[in-house]
Amino acid sequence: MLLYVDANFASPYALVVFASLIEKGLDFEIESLDLAARANHDPSFARTSITRRVPTLIHDGFVLSESSAICEYVDETFEGTRLYPTDPRDRARARQVQAWMRSDLMPIRDERPTFVVFNGAKRPALSEAARGAAEQLFSAALALLDGRTDNLFGAWSIADVDLAMMLQRLIVLGDPVPQRLIDYATHQWRRPSVEQWLLKKRPPLIGY
């Protein structure tokens, strides 16, 4: 099994796939691609991954990209820690959270790129648009947690990593975040599968 990730180990989507494979106790190799040098458009990788994106997983000749699709494939194919809730409604909600983290909250994603979390990049204060997106994030996250500070659905799910990742974009730079959400994101960051990603050696930043 082979997992392609970005050379900076800063992709939030590579993180959730990496954590999924660790949670399942699977043996896999990692190959990193320098996205800044457009290594993902190299003909050899383009022949491998039809979308030319990372993460891309290769398992027994089957090649799959898009992180949420990979997470679902891994959960349905392998024994081990469940990545998604067993209850159909909770499972649908977990997928909703994942889709939302990938399709919305652009002001946060633009002004707080993952380099601030994994590589220590600095950024100026949030714009009005980003503050509005943060309030939207906080309101939804608190409603989803419903008083909990550990996991969204009682038992851990991979959607917890996605949500915590978005919160960490703000937490690491000291942006105002409700304490309950700080506690929740900190709890997720201490999960061994996530900690293994955090400990990856990363090249120095240039231009950030």
**One domain, residues 68 and 137:** no
By three-state DSSP, how is residue 177 classified?
Answer: coil
Do 94 and 52 sit in the same domain of this protein? no
Confidence grade of residue 34 (pLDDT, cut at 50, 70, 90) = confident
Domain count across the chain:
2
More confident residue, 142 or 48: 142
Nearest to 8, CA basis, from 45, 54, 49:
54
Does some domain include residue 18? Answer: yes
Same domain assignment for residues 70 and 117: no
Q: In what order do the strands lie in the sheet with 62-65?
A: 29-33, 2-6, 56-59, 62-65
Q: What is the pLDDT of residues 75-116, one digit of tens each?
A: 999 999 999 999 999 999 999 999 999 999 999 999 999 999
Structural domain that includes position 137: 88-191
pLDDT value, residue 72: 97
Are residues 74 and 62 in contact, defined by beta-carbon separation less than 8 angstroms? no
> Do 170 and 92 reside in the same domain of the chain?
yes
Q: Are residues 17 and 78 in the same domain?
A: yes
Contact predicate 179/193, CB 8 Å: no
Same domain, 92 and 187: yes
